[in-house]
Amino acid sequence: MAELVISALLPVVFEKLTSVLENKIARSKGIHSELKKWERKLSLIQALLEDASPKEVTSKAVKQWLNDLQHLAYDIDDILDALATDAMHREFVNQSQPITNKVRKFIPSCCTSFSLSTRVGSKLDNISIRLQELMDEKEKLGLIVKNERSKDKNRGYQTSLVVGPSIVGREADKKELVQKLLSDESCNENFSIVPIVGMGGIGKTTLAKLLYDDQLVKDHFELKAWVCVSDDFDSFKISKVIYQSVGGEQKDLVDLNLLQVALRDRLMGKRFLLVLDDVWSDKLEDWEILAGPFFSGAPGSKIIITTRKQQLLNKLGYDHPYDLKKLSHDDALSLFAHHSLGVKSFDLHPVLRPHGEGIVQKCDGLPLALKALGSLLRTKRNEEEWKRLLDDEIWMLEDEGGILPALRLSYNDLSACLKQLFAYCCLIPKDCMFEKKDLILLWMAEGFMHNSATNKTMECLGEECFQELLSRSFFQYVPDDESLFVMHDLMNDLATFVAGEFYSRLDIDMEKNVRKEAFKKYRHMSFACERYICYNKVKAVERANSLRTFLAMPNVVRNSWLIFNISSKFLVDTLPQLPLIRVLSLSRLDIDEVPECVGNMKHLRYLNLSQTSIRYLPESVCNLYNLQTLIVSGCDRLTKLPDNFLKLKNLWHFDIRDTLLWNMIPLGISDMKSLQTLSNKVVIENNDFFISWLRNLKNLQAEIYIDELQKVQSATDIQGVNLSQKRVSDLRMGWSNVFDDSRNEKHEKEVLDALKPHSDNLKNLTIVSYGGKLFPTWIGDPSFLCLTYVQIKKCGNCMFLPPLGELPSLMTLVIEELNGVKVLGSEFLGTGTAFPKLESLRITNMTGWEVWSTKSGVVGAVMFPCLQELILVNCPNLAEVSLEALPSLRVLDLSGCGDGLLTSLIHAASSVTRLSISRITGLSDEVWRGVMDHLGAVEEVRINMCNGIRYLWESEAKASKVLVNLRKLEVFDCAKLVSLGEKEEDRCNQLTSLRILELMSCQNLERCNLPNNIQELCISYCDSIASVSFPTGGHKLKSLKIDNCEQLLEKEVLLNTSMPLMLEVVHIKRWKNLKSINELACFIQLTELRIEDCSSIESFPAADLPNLTSLEYLRIVKCKSMDVASFGVWPPKLGFLQIGGLKKPISKLGPQTFPSSLVDLKLYGGSAEEEDVTSGSQLSHMLPSSLTTLGLWYFEKLETVSKGLQHLTSLQHLHIQSCPTMKDLPEELLPSLLSLGISGCTDELKEKTSRRGSYWPLISYIPYVGTD
């Protein structure tokens, strides 16, 4: 289907030909006549395309002819572009200074001494010959000029967006599956799987969405998460999405084990619903790695899996999944009618019904095909158009490449321009989310948006095209975020199919082992980024020297911190081989400087360096005369623009959001009339510049952050800009933190008033360090219907808050450091129901706040009906609050407040499930027990730095009567705490719901009696604890962690047969009294064992290790008294091992038998006996060939690893730390590594690994190299 690109590209070529023909350079150098011939022949060929288009579907010869024509058109365009670029260079030089001989040296020879015998001349001859061959071949192919064009071929773009849900025929499926989700069917585990199986496009995801959004389902489950898994079953990525979805803290967790522990804690005792959408993996081990945290959920938890493949489900014992069938004929007809006619049936269109039924029959009940073809016919009511679609030859073709004929028909109906735009989308990896504006920018840079027949801007044309493709179901909205889009897998396959030999997804082609010759034909290429991108995976790019497009495609959500490491050799050696590149994206790659070759890419239109670590833009970038789009957003280290930045005359899109560049933009930039500088962060230095920036803001600007507003000279200037017409969604306004005599309260109020945005779009509002006592009336105005988030902080002069309670959609409110506010009363609440949708309220550091009155003066007014989370921090003068009830409150967090506030709030919040208190003054045992009487619903309690508490409860029996739902208890830094219970009880064991207990830094804690059902116990930095009493009759402990408890006796917590056999995780660290571990063989459930820095431990039962059949992670380090003759044989599933710092050096542990599962090994020096390891060969017996990750730490005498590591052919990551005499590296392994880390080694080694060093030719292959 090469005709699609030809039809769109040839008009651009014609326009460039005209431009070059009118140029004096072309006329004076003999090019004119040759280009005139091209123009005539191309015009004749263009007239044949109408005939060639349908013939290429059935004729391979015609398809090849079109492909050859496409390549020729690309080559012509490249030459014309080079001539135009050289002309721009000459013009700039002429404007800069008189042309002298010195200057002439820099003008390309093709512009000063052109001859057909030169290199450019030979290219022209080659093109002329190829063009004539195509002219000759058209006769053989029987191609003719057609005068009558298809009526719809170039019709105007129509938008046919279907509003609202259009799901037909799935009512029975939904009803049956909802019953499965709500049922408490017996199951061996706490969760069960509800599998939905079916072919692509059948509607599995749509049905899962119906279930996920069903109100009964929402009410039934406490936690919910949705993950699109796709063909890359990445357990870390999936676990992270689930963790964040269920409200996990925004931690930078990079270790799968830590992440899954955190997820397990979050799911603990909660009934959850998880959707794993589009699962392709059939490996049982993938599931086993992922599923660990799910077992901690409450009984009745469910996991919906949608998949095309049943193998994994069979392995999990689900032999009879829910097999989603195709739609019945009636339902399919109804769905098709909805999308084609906007009604549920053909009753009002009887003439079209027979053709509709025929199309529906050929779509064979597949919803995606019905939707796509229905959208195609949405604007057509002519019977002939429906009949033509039904009779199209494509229905007769085989299902080539897995592309459904129905989808190909939908594609064929597109105009040439839309076909080109859609084919380009094959560069987007499957399941990759993208933003509309990002794709439109790429289309524009490729020249696809060129249309001389209209006055519309390229952005406007791009918007129309995107909406047209969206309305026809070529794109889909991402669930829960309509600012992001995704392509269905089948649509992605279709794009790949129609794009043909001009487009390549490098990661796919490398997997298919595409032959070298194919790369020479590629014009557009992308690759899906991996965490480490090795040189061999991208080396093939150097063969694609005709490339116009090279896109690094990181499939990550916005605001993600993830960066991708790429081999520097690719940047230095391969990128320079792409002289014709026009679109280059290196977004999110770990680079700290712009590759030198970029300055030589004279065709470049689009350069994306966003989210990289670059510190400056080199001067050579200013030679890119064609550059239209420059994106450096998120480059937070970028502090300098090149001196000649204003040379970029064609630059019209400069994205500096989330950078520090605003104050570094040259003043002359205002002369670049077409330039749109996107900056969401503005620090005001120059008043006129700021006003100009405001005036030039697009009407649709998502985010605006303005700081130093006290420097604005006149609010009248801002009013003239009319910001209220700008549709801003996220607005942050800040003044100086210094409140002195220079601040003008009246002026600042006028400025804030003038900055009022359009009320229809504002979603997030932040005001910082505003100097007025009162706020303008628009703050809190109920006309802001979309405003969901408000933050007001550090407004030192403020005495009263605006009526934020009247905002109808406000869900999150944050108030910080308003020390002048003493009362929150009716002025804050407003009239009527106060804060009708507020879910989270956070008030912090309000040291002057004394009264919180909830009396609005309106009889029967309701306050905070939806409030789920209340956080009050450092409000020491707020004694109490008179709230009658907070029926929806689930999370209460108080810190730095008095006990009276805690007492009054807990009386109004009987439904709280998570309570966290810290630094509560006046909180004694008696007061706490009064609070405890109201914690019947609480599930999690955290008590921190409450030094008045000595005992949490009088007796466990009494506590069990009120804490009936308590599952997790954390007590930190309570200096006077002696024990949990005041009275010693004879194994009462009545707190049956408690599962997790964590005690840390309680210096006077003496003992701990454990309830019977405790599953996780962590005691750390409790210096006085001497006794831990486990319940008699067996207990259910699964996780035991002891750290830095110096007085704890060995007999109290001992790994022996008296411990529960269910133990899965054991961490023992800095336990001075522990002298031995006698037995491990019985702990067959143990998956993780860590023993670290236990100076007194002497013996360890190494012989028991082979019996630990579940152990995957083992760490034994810094135990210098531990004397083990030899570990010998290891656990059969061991994957991660860290060992060393024992009595004997590692080199003397003798021969080892490691399992093939061991992939990650860290060896430690620093043994009690003198370390003798000087060479890697002394460690080779500890290095199994299965290793992918190796770390060598604290080997003080280790000088060389050039020998002893050669057999590690699978090694990907090598890290050497604190080996102060290390001088070399294993050279033969370096090129295959993905990461190399060196720290605390010799200056000699540091020099060798620098860019000037002897190792650099080898380590330049490595994506990540870290040295200090």
Higher pLDDT, 1256 or 98: 1256
C-alpha 1059: how far from chain center? 43
Q: How many Cβ atoms sit within 10 Å of the Cβ of residue 1253? A: 15
629: exposed, middle or buried (C-beta count within 10 Å: 0-12, 13-18, 19+)?
buried
Nearest-CA neighbor of 991 among 966, 1017, 954, 1016?
966
For residues 393-419, give the mean pLDDT: 67
Confidence class of residue 164 from pLDDT cuts 50, 70 and 90? very low
Query: Looking at 96-105, 778-787, 1082-1091, which range is the least confident one?
Result: 96-105
Mean pLDDT of all residues in 975-993: 79
Angle 273-485-323 from CA coordinates, rounded to 5°:
45
* Contact yes or no for 586/563 (Cβ under 8 A): no
Enumerate residues 6+ apart whose C-beta is below 8 A from 1093: 1069, 1070, 1117, 1118, 1119
The per-residue pLDDT for range 424-434, each reduced to its tens digit, is: 999 999 888 89
* The dihedral sign for the CA sequence 209, 213, 217, 218: positive
Task: Give the per-residue pLDDT at 154.
Answer: 30
Which of 51-60, 741-750, 889-898 is predicted with the least confidence, judged by mean pLDDT?
A: 51-60
Q: What is the mean pLDDT of residues 886-912?
A: 91
End-to-end CA distance of the chain: 54
The DSSP code for 188 is S
Output the pLDDT for position 779. Answer: 94
Confidence of residue 1087 (pLDDT cuts 50, 70, 90): very high
Sign of the Cα pseudo-torsion (1152, 1155, 1156, 1157, in order) = negative
Dist CA 576 CA 590 (whole Å): 18
Distance in angstroms (rounded) separating the CA atoms of residues 1196 and 1220: 6
pLDDT tens digits for range 566-578: 998 999 999 999 9
The arithmetic mean of pLDDT across residues 1239-1250, rounded, is 90
pLDDT digits (tens, 9 = 90+) for 478-520: 877 778 898 887 788 888 888 888 899 887 766 666 666 678 8
Mean pLDDT (whole number) for 971-983? 92
Q: Which residue has the higher pLDDT, 395 or 203?
A: 203
Closest CA to 771 of 722, 736, 817: 736
pLDDT at 249 over 70: no
The pLDDT assigned to 910 comes to 83
Mean pLDDT of 454-474: 84
State the Cα–Cα distance between residues 410 and 93, nearest whole angstrom: 51
1000 or 679: which leads in pLDDT: 1000
For residue 576, the one-letter residue type is P
Task: Rank 101-110, 116-125, 303-312, 585-594 by mean pLDDT and report only the highest.
Answer: 585-594
Beta bridge partners of 706: 682, 733
The HSE-up count of residue 1093 (CA atoms within 13 Å, CB side) is 8
pLDDT value of position 19:
66
114: pLDDT confidence band, cut at 50, 70 and 90? very low
pLDDT higher than 50, residue 101: no
Is residue 415 within 8 A of residue 155, CB to CB? The reply is yes
| Total residues found in the chain within this entry | 1268
Please answer whether residues 910 and 936 qualify as being in contact, where contact means their C-beta atoms are separated by less than 8 angstroms. Answer: yes
- Mean pLDDT of the region 551-560: 79
The residues near 470 (Cβ < 8 Å, ≥ 6 apart) are: 161, 476, 485
Tell me what the pLDDT averaged over the chain comes to.
Answer: 83
Q: Who has greater pLDDT, 322 or 397?
A: 322
Q: Look at residue 165 and tell me whether its pLDDT is greater than 60.
A: no
907-947: pLDDT as tens digits: 888 889 999 999 999 999 999 999 999 899 999 999 999 99
Domains of the chain, by residue range, sit at 3-141, 186-323, 327-413, 1038-1144, 1173-1268
Region of 1240 (left: φ > 0; alpha: ψ -120 to 50; beta: rest) is: left
Report the share of the chain in percent with pLDDT over 90. Answer: 36
Higher per-residue pLDDT: 634 or 681? 634
Q: What is the pLDDT of residue 204?
A: 87
- pLDDT beyond 60 at 148: no
What span, in angstroms and rounded, lies between the C-alpha atoms of 659 and 678? Answer: 11
Give the CA distances from residue 920 to residues 294, 894, 902, 974, in Å, rounded to whole numbers and listed in that order.
35, 8, 8, 11
What does the H/E/C string look like for 75-144? HHHHHHHHHHHHHHHHHHHHHHCCCCHHHHCCCCHHHHCCCCCCHHHHHHHHHHHHHHHHHHHHHHHCCC
Q: Nearest-5° angle of CA 339, CA 342, CA 347?
A: 110
Which residue, 449, 450, 478, is CA-closest to 466?
449
Task: Write the pLDDT tens digit of every residue in 866-888.
Answer: 999 999 999 999 987 877 788 89
Q: What's the pLDDT score for residue 749?
A: 92
| Mean of pLDDT values over 836-858 | 86
- For residues 764 and 728, what is the distance between their CA atoms, to the nearest angstrom? 9
Whether pLDDT at 162 is above 50 = no
pLDDT band at 1172 (very low <50, low <70, confident <90, very high): confident
| Cα separation, 638 vs 1027, whole angstroms | 56
Identify the CA nearest to 577 among candidates 537, 544, 550. 544
pLDDT in tens, 1051-1064: 655 555 556 678 89
Question: Measuring CA to CA, which residue among 1098, 1051, 1048, 1037 is closest to residue 1072?
Answer: 1048
User: Considering the chain, what percentage of its residues have pLDDT values greater than 70?
Assistant: 86
pLDDT digits (tens, 9 = 90+) for 629-661: 999 989 989 988 898 988 888 898 888 888 878
The predicted structure's pLDDT at residue 444: 92
DSSP type of residue 696: T
Query: CA Rg, the chain, in Å?
Result: 35
Mean pLDDT of the 1073-1086 span: 83
Among 537-551, 1108-1122, 1130-1144, which is the least confidently predicted range?
A: 537-551
Backbone phi, psi, residue 302, to 5°: -135, 150
Can you give the pLDDT at residue 518?
75
- Quick one: pLDDT at residue 28? 45
> Please, are residues 564 and 589 in contact by the beta-carbon 8 Å criterion?
yes
**Alpha carbons 363 and 380: distance in angstroms, whole number:** 19
Burial 731-751 (b: 16+ CB within 10 A, else e): bbbbbbeeeeeebeeebbbbb
Reported as a pLDDT band with limits 50, 70 and 90, residue 778 is very high
Q: With cut-offs at 50, 70 and 90, classify the pLDDT of residue 163.
A: very low
| pLDDT top residue among 1019 and 955 | 1019
Which tokens hold the place of 633? 């957003």
Q: Which residue has the higher pLDDT, 393 or 972?
A: 972
The CATH class that applies to domain 186-323 reads: alpha beta
pLDDT level of residue 740 (50, 70, 90 thresholds):
confident
pLDDT value at 1154 more than 80: yes
pLDDT surpassing 50 at residue 156: no
Q: Range with the lowest mean pLDDT among 383-397, 804-818, 1149-1163, 1248-1262?
A: 383-397
Q: How confident is the model at residue 849 (pLDDT cuts 50, 70, 90)?
A: very high
pLDDT for 117 beyond 50: no
**How much is the pLDDT for 624?**
93
Distance CA(1130)–CA(1034), nearest Å, equals 29
Which range among 206-215, 325-334, 446-455, 1191-1200 has the greatest average pLDDT? Answer: 1191-1200
